[in-house]
Amino acid sequence: AFDDAGGPVAGFCGIDATGAWHQGAWTLRGGTQWLQARREGSEVASINGLVPANVPEFTLNLQAAYDVAALPGLNLQAAVTRQGSRMVLPDNSASISAYTRTDLALRYVARLGGAQTIWRAGIDNVFDTKAWRESPYQFSHVYLYPQAPRTLRLSVQIDL
């Protein structure tokens, strides 16, 4: 990738790890990333050595799912995402804060009239966390994208 002046964006080192575990009714998944990114080789010498815009220093994702034995076909789900702070401007003079988001959902699979039916319900951003989820810098402009407010999702899928 290249910056607005045509120079390389960054050098980096980091750690990325993911894993999953399944035992009985439980499934757990997780992932983390730590990244020490720094700008190098830019034609704009004053930003060399700085953190690139819109790159979080870390991310953490945890997911859990539970199959309810008392009601076969019912699966309860939870997810937590943590994003580290990000620089907004190439000169590192502005940043957006780290945030945590929690989502809850359920899925119920049943046969109705010979067709498999999947019912889904979920609440995204359960605690209605206010945060900027991204801050891309392109063409000398900053684009701030807010995290969606608490959102209820409902759907039905019928496989004929």
Quote the percentage of the chain above a pLDDT of 70.
Answer: 92
The answer, yes or no, to whether residue 5 has pLDDT greater than 60, is: no
pLDDT value of position 102: 98
Least confident of 18-27, 32-41, 118-127: 32-41
Residue found by looking up tokens 């000169």 in the block: 91
Q: Which of 74, 12, 72 is nearest to 41 (CA)?
A: 12
pTM metric for this prediction: 0.83
50 contacts 87 by C-beta, under 8 angstroms: yes
* Integer Cα distance of 95 and 97 in angstroms: 7
What average pLDDT does the segment 110-121 reach? 94
* Integer Cα distance of 122 and 74 in angstroms: 13
The answer, yes or no, to whether residue 118 has pLDDT greater than 70, is: yes
